[in-house]
Structure 1
Amino acid sequence: MVTIKQVAKEAGVSVATVSRVLNNNGYVSQEALTNVKSVIEKLNYKPNSVARSLYNKTSNMIGLIVPDITNPFFPELARAVEDVAMIYGFKVVLCNSDQEPEKEKKYIDLFKQQYVDGIIMTAHSYESEIYTDLNIPVVALDRIGNTTLPAVVSNNYTGARKATDLLLQKGVENIAHIRGPRGVAPAEDRYRGFIDEVNKKNADYIIEESSFQLEGAEKKAREFLRAHTDVDGIFCSNDVIAVGVLKEALKKGIKVPEELQIIGFDGSFFGKMIYPELTTVSQPIYDMGAMATRLLIKIIEGNKPEKIFYEMPTTIIERSTTRK
């Protein structure tokens, strides 16, 4: 591998001069500039990105923290972040926090050591100061909680109200909501949307709580369907929970949607991979990831964004788990 010393020797200049050429920093005579560039091309020299990041305190890298990479929602977000970042010349470092604040902190320390230029965080940290004290641009995506950070979210509250209203319109008499984990902002907003809509319609309801992981959702669904045999409509806080309910209902011989109607939330590819296909509240997942990335890069480049909070609309995709 060709080193910077070899380039300097071949060009007849100092290592410092080669470094100034590579980093476009400091004075270099036109003759030296031309000579160094010629040698770099001749020797096919590839600068050490780690060394350059240490020198410049920048890396053209964006850190992305997700809480659970097995949840189909987050790979779709990550794809959008990577696609847009590549267009602007940035690389993406993806980290999975497993919803553990300590693991999240370790990744943030790693980002600081690697001089990432900015961070997109979809993990839900209960210690927001670990982001606000970073002196690195940060954009919150999806799971924002109470934060003053620039953020991109979808309208979870309105989406939940639409889903609840749709079930009631389709003749559901005994409605339930299997909500997501407490303290997770989208789950809280969807819960509030459900509660406000059933109260508006004076409908009786049941609330249960589940994790956003499939194994936990299936376990909760087994318990729920055993205990609440009269429920004929369930709004689930995400598509993973909805798929868990659907699987367990079919195992028990419950006809969907004739006897039980189910609506999920996310609009991930997951809902089209099962049968019957899932009716869901669709978030613009790719657009959310793309918007968050463009917002972050604008801040990294020192440009003032038009606004720092984007709430994107949700729509219902009707498939086969609700009646026609």
Structure 2
Amino acid sequence: MEKQTVTIYDVAREAGVSMATVSRVVNGNTNVRAETKEKVEAVIERLDYRPNAVARGLASRKSTTIGIIVPDVTNVYFSELARGIDDVAQMYNYQIILTNSDEKNNSNVFESLLGKQVEGILYMGNIIDDNLRDKIKKNNVPVVLSGSVDVEKQLPSVNIDYVSAMYEVTKHLIEHGHQKIAFVSGPLDETINTEFKFKGYQKALVEAGLDYTDDLLVSGDYNYQSGYQLGAMVHDSGATAAVVVDDEMAAGVLNYMTDQDVVTPDDFEIVTLNNSHITLLTRPQLSSVTQPIYDIGAVSMRMLTKLMNGEELDTHDMILPHGYAGRGTTK
């Protein structure tokens, strides 16, 4: 026989108190006598009562849920961001609705989350087109970018300084004597790649008096298979080093070079950008910019809680510190 759902009414009846009293105990209200609180909590435990988040939201006119829009839930970078988000969401008693957009239906996914009455949205996508921007403006739902950037600076965000990070690692490779360095990127219609990461790469080359040709700029999707295919283009370009914007892509480039008997780092050096756990799984291990991925997620969630509570943000665009981990793919 199917187990019946225990309701707040059942708890109130068993404890001999009002439903309002049970609600106060569940929501941590201090205006309840200690002995009454203990009695209610004992009944909650005995009946295995679980408060209904939707019902609580209706009662408070808040949904107690937030939506997360992820371009690709299988990408390690985004899953590590989501961990930080989830931990802070639990701390503030928010439920999460995780959605996958494939970077193609961001507007539709946004609309779908609004239909679920979310109280706020964390956006990890790298494309903010006019359609999505209009929907954000028309709906009174706070949105924070997590690991993504808004070139128009209308939406609050949490990131590292991508221009500086890419500049520093490109300069590092130049100091190793490389004059042909490939830039391996995700889609070039994403401003995070063209307006930030590429600009850091370009700045280092210009500063060193080096030029780049179109064959050194290769782009694809944020996954291993794409990286492996791009490895062939990098190899054919005559580049002796590469900076790569994604760890899965970097693993693909590395394995292509290995399959062509190119020895890394003696014949070819690689630096990647995200420092996810994938950098430790390859052989040799990938040198990488280090960034606090978990913290980016956690801080963006905390910013969203402030906006949902009508608080002012101390900083609209939060930049967290980055570093560098030299491993086996650089000398």
- TM norm. shorter chain > 0.5: yes
Task: Letter of the 2:276 partner, please give it.
Answer: S
Q: Distance in 2 between matches of 1:241 and 1:46?
A: 43
- Partner residue of 1:107 out of 97, 109, 113: 109
In 1, Cα distance between the equivalents of 2:22 and 2:179?
A: 72
Distance 1:84 1:5 in 2: 30
**Which amino acid in structure 1 is aligned with residue 165 of structure 2?**
G
Counterpart amino acid of 1:199?
A: V
In structure 2, the partner of 1:317 is: 325
Distance 1:42 1:238, change over 3 A: closer
Q: Is the 8 A contact 1:218 1:244 kept in 2?
A: yes
Q: 1:219 aligns with which of 222, 229, 235?
A: 229
Q: Is the 8 A contact 2:279 2:285 kept in 1?
A: yes
Query: Partner of 1:145 in structure 2?
Result: 150
Structure 1 residue ranges without an equivalent (≥5)? 25-29
RMSD over aligned CA atoms reads 2.8
Q: Pick one of 67, 74, 77 that aligns with 2:71.
A: 67
* 1:80-123 deviations in Å (ceiling 9; x for gaps): 1111221222222222211122xx33433343233322211111
Q: Could you tell me how far apart the structure 1 residues matched to 2:279 and 2:136 are? A: 33
Tell me which moved more, 150-159 or 205-214. 205-214
Structure 1 residue 268 corresponds to structure 2 residue 276: yes
Mapped to 2, the partners of 1:175 and 1:8 lie a distance apart of 69
- State the match for 2:171 in structure 1: 165
Alignment of 1:1-324 (within 5 A): 1-3=5-7, 18=19, 22=23, 42=43, 44=47, 45-101=49-105, 104-124=106-126, 125-126=128-129, 127-146=132-151, 147-188=153-194, 189-205=196-212, 206-225=216-235, 227-228=236-237, 230-323=238-331
Conservation of the 8 A alpha-carbon contact between 2:182 and 2:234 = no
Percent of pairs with identical residues: 28
Scaled by the length of structure 2, the TM-score of the pair is 0.83
Q: Distance in 2 between matches of 1:258 and 1:39?
A: 68
Aligned equivalents of 2:220, 2:108: Cα separation in 1: 27
> Taking structure 1 as reference, are residues 40 and 321 closer, same or farther at Cα in structure 2, changes over 3 Å only?
closer
Q: Any stretches of 5+ residues in structure 2 without a counterpart? A: 26-30
Distance 2:220 2:6 in 1: 55
Residue matched to 2:28: none
Return the alpha-carbon distance in structure 2 between the equivalents of residues 213 and 202 of structure 1.
Answer: 32
- Alpha-carbon distance in structure 2 between the residues aligned to 1:108 and 1:20: 37
Letter in structure 1 aligned against 2:309: E
